[in-house]
Amino acid sequence: DAKTTQPNSMESNEEEPVHLPCNHSTISGTDYIHWYRQLPSQGPEYVIHGLTSNVNNRMASLAIAEDRKSSTLILHRATLRDAAVYYCILRDEGRGSNYKLTFGKGTLLTVNP
Amino acid sequence: GAGVSQTPSNKVTEKGKYVELRCDPISGHTALYWYRQSLGQGPEFLIYFQGTGAADDSGLPNDRFFAVRPEGSVSTLKIQRTERGDSAVYLCASSFDRDSEAFFGQGTRLTVV
């Protein structure tokens, strides 16, 4: 499975934008880029996903590099509730085991008041 | 609410004992997953059910672990002869189908003493 690389931790201030990077240099053509986050003492929750084009939803935006070897999750205005571990995951939709999410250690985001 | 429910939220058991962990998925979700999360790590896949059948149990660590979903809804993860190394948070997730986003429960924290 293609792997992702994320910084161990990042810090942000409340109400400022946050850009969470993810490198996936071995991404294949059928890999979708998924982001999940895990709040303290909670299970992971889906944030956003995309293939090639940038994506927006109510939670965040996903910016995907033109060569698809990296992507950035953008939180437009961080709140204290956004403090969580953020996981960047590749799901190969061309394989039969696409249901299986392979989590790394993710990025621990700290939001300062 | 209408989310994934896991019971109990915490379970302390003695080494060698048998435990059962229960998962109530979101109504109508045909796919159900179990993951295990050790401290400081991302969740690791254990097993995937499509309906009543275990479509992929490749993540179960050994034959002390078993899971069932007899009516295609509630699932139970069973661990025999528990060991201290089984201590972790066990997460259940469900999705409408194998291609849809997964919704996670809050997990059961298992401590083997």
Q: Which residues of A42-75 are buried (b: 16+ CB within 10 A; e: fewer)?
A: ebbbbbbbbeeeebeeeebbbbbeeebebbbbeb
Q: How far is the C-alpha of A93 from the C-alpha of B40, rounded, in Å?
A: 28
What is chain A's length?
113
pLDDT for residue A1 is more than 60? no
Residue of B nearest to A101 (CA): B45
Band (pLDDT 50/70/90 cuts) for residue B113 is very high
How far away is chain A from the Cα of B81, in angstroms, using its nearest Cα? 26
Give the residue-averaged pLDDT of A53-67.
Answer: 95
| pLDDT over 70, % of chain B | 99
pLDDT for residue A86 is more than 70? yes
Q: How far is the C-alpha of A69 from the C-alpha of A24, rounded, in Å?
A: 5
DSSP strand pairing (A31-38 vs A45-50): antiparallel
CB atoms B106 and A97 under 8 Å: no
Q: How far is the C-alpha of B27 from the C-alpha of B96, rounded, in Å?
A: 9
CB atoms B91 and A87 under 8 Å: no
How far away is chain B from the Cα of A89, in angstroms, using its nearest Cα? 11
pLDDT at A2: 61
Band (pLDDT 50/70/90 cuts) for residue B26 is very high
CB B54 within 8 A of CB B48: yes
How far away is chain A from the Cα of B82, in angstroms, using its nearest Cα? 23
CA nearest to A101, candidates A93, A110, A109: A93
pLDDT at A5: 96
Tell whether omega for the bond before B8 is within 30 degrees of 0, i.e. cis.
yes
At B39-94, the pLDDT tens digits run 999 999 999 999 999 999 999 999 999 999 999 999 999 999 999 999 999 999 99
CB atoms B56 and A99 under 8 Å: yes
Instruction: Say yes or no: B108 contacts chain A, CB-CB below 8 A.
Output: no
Instruction: Say yes or no: A51 contacts chain B, CB-CB below 8 A.
Output: no
Name every residue whose Cβ is closer than 8 Å to that of residue A35 and which is 6 or more positions away in sequence: A22, A46, A47, A48, A49, A60, A62, A73, A86, A87, A88, A89
Instruction: Say yes or no: A23 contacts chain B, CB-CB below 8 A.
Output: no
pLDDT at B17: 98
pLDDT for residue A96 is more than 90? no
| pLDDT over 90, % of chain A | 86
What is chain B's length?
113
Q: Which two tokens stand for residue B1?
A: 């609410």
pLDDT at A69: 96
CB atoms B43 and A99 under 8 Å: no
Which residues in chain B (68-97) have CB-CB distances under 8 A to chain A? 91, 93, 95
Which residues in chain B (28-47) have CB-CB distances under 8 A to chain A? 31, 33, 35, 40-45
Name every residue whose Cβ is closer than 8 Å to that of residue B109 and which is 6 or more positions away in sequence: B9, B10, B11, B88, B89
Q: How far is the C-alpha of B41 from the C-alpha of A113, rounded, in Å?
A: 27
Instruction: Say yes or no: A42 contacts chain B, CB-CB below 8 A.
Output: yes
